Amino acid sequence: MLGSVLIGAAGAPAAVAQPAVTAPPPACAWRFMSNSTVLNVAFPDANATYWVLPYALGAGETIELTGTYPAARYLSLNTYGTDLNTVDTLRDDQIVPDAGSVNPFAGPTVPGSPRQWHATVVPGQADHSRNEIRGLPADGAQPTPVGFLIVRVYVPDDAASPTGGVELPSATLVLGGGATRVALPTCASPFDPADVTGGPLGQLATEGFDRLIAGAASGAFPGNVPEATFVNPASTSGLFPNGDNKYLGAGLTYQAQRIVVVRGKAPTFPDTRAGDPVTDPGQQVRYWSMCQNDQVSPYPVVACAADFQTRLDADGYYTYVVAATGDVPARAESDPTVTVLPWGSTDVPKKVLFMRNMLPTTDFYPRSIQASQDGGLDPATSMGEFYPVAAYCDTAAFEAGGYRACAGG
């Protein structure tokens, strides 16, 4: 996702009211869960699930986490401030395993080996080699200690187990310099707004999330960006960005009997659901996807096609057809090299397509989205054949000539 957390009433962008410094500890851990069906806000990826723990840390206070590496494509721990921007990230292959355990994201492992880890959220400078993750902005700009800890899991091996076949990390608040330890049981059910009413966390929950997300989303693509053209977003700040992903986006507008065709070369990836090891060195990215999203608050995802869900031709190229119900060409539905993404509700005429690249390898980096953003490059040039070329096309034209009948596709 670019981001997800609970929202209040919709409205124009506004600053979040700053809560008092002190706050009672949460009753349980991982109260909020976000995916494509639950708390679907701020452009989440449909093949990932996000669990959110709001917290307030004072000086010397920490959160201790105990977990098990999931059977999944990707895991990360992320902290955010009240501006919904990244404070710190601790990724799966960076998390040192417990003594006697192994990290399946760091190298080949023997099946059945223990896979436990511990990590600590600290209020000051964090040492990743000690599995520490910073819980507050380094520059001290945030006047309060309230923040958010998010666990992300992408593409669990078992699609029916969002956590990747393991329990969510257990969380313990360590207060008073270690004098008090408060174990937080995992919440029995996610997202109950009644549990956060009142207090600084409740104030944040009800007074600003949707407005911050709406302001950040509207600023990601200024009005002068041409439609059906993939560009680097102006910013993903305020959308709980994942530092291991970079994004290209293309704005779209609905017209009856008009579809969008997108074509490009697909990066290679470890297909973990097919048994590939996540550490396979021969792949180009850890993960990539194409997602269709509503460009209106709360900015939900309509549908995604992840790498393993995307059909390719013999040369490794994808062809996406984005179309409303009734506009999908029969030729697109029957073509084994075409992936159809639904437009979603036509009552929401404005959409945005996002392409994600996660963790490109060193060899692939020059052709990745990351390189175009890090170097301020035009992705249409720097990405070469991996750049997604999009074009509007009439349903009838595609029906008659396939993607070749659609200019740019």
Q: What is the mean pLDDT of residues 153-161?
A: 95
Q: What is the mean pLDDT of the chain?
A: 82
Mind listing the pLDDT tens digit for each residue in 251-271? Answer: 899 999 999 999 999 999 999
Higher-confidence position of 22 and 91:
91
Mind listing the pLDDT tens digit for each residue in 76-90? Answer: 999 887 777 788 999
What pLDDT score was predicted for residue 225?
Answer: 61
CA distances in angstroms from 67 to 25, 136, 340, listed in the order given: 21, 22, 37
DSSP code string of 322-346: EE-TTTS-HHHHH-TTEEEEE---T
Higher-confidence position of 327 and 41:
327
Residue 74 reports pLDDT greater than 90: yes
Residue 222 reports pLDDT greater than 70: no
Q: Which of 253, 229, 394 is nearest to 321 (CA)?
A: 394
Residue 238 reports pLDDT greater than 50: no
Mind listing the pLDDT tens digit for each residue in 291-302? Answer: 998 877 767 788
What strand order describes the sheet that includes 32-34? 32-34, 48-56, 146-156, 72-80, 86-91
Residue 147 reports pLDDT greater than 70: yes
Residue 27's pLDDT band, with cuts at 50, 70 and 90, is confident
Residue 312's pLDDT band, with cuts at 50, 70 and 90, is very high
Q: Is there a contact between 393 and 259 (Cβ–Cβ < 8 Å)?
A: yes
Neighbouring residues of 129: CB distance < 8 A, sequence distance ≥ 6: 96
Q: Is the bond preceding residue 185 a cis peptide, omega within 30 degrees?
A: no
Q: Which residue has the tokens 């549908």?
A: 303
Higher-confidence position of 137 and 74:
74
Residue 398 reports pLDDT greater than 60: yes
Higher-confidence position of 14 and 63:
63
Three-state DSSP class for residue 359? coil
Q: What is the mean pLDDT of residues 337-342?
A: 96
3-12, 178-187, 397-406, range with the lowest pLDDT = 3-12
Three-state DSSP class for residue 370? helix
What pLDDT score was predicted for residue 71?
Answer: 96
What pLDDT score was predicted for residue 288?
Answer: 97
Residue 121's DSSP bridge partners are 63, 133
Residue 12's pLDDT band, with cuts at 50, 70 and 90, is very low
What pLDDT score was predicted for residue 18?
Answer: 38
What pLDDT score was predicted for residue 200?
Answer: 47
CA distances in angstroms from 119 to 60, 70, 133, 409, listed in the order given: 16, 15, 8, 47
Mind listing the pLDDT tens digit for each residue in 92-108? Answer: 999 999 999 999 999 88
Q: How far is CA 285 from the centre of its chain?
A: 15
Residue 198's pLDDT band, with cuts at 50, 70 and 90, is very low
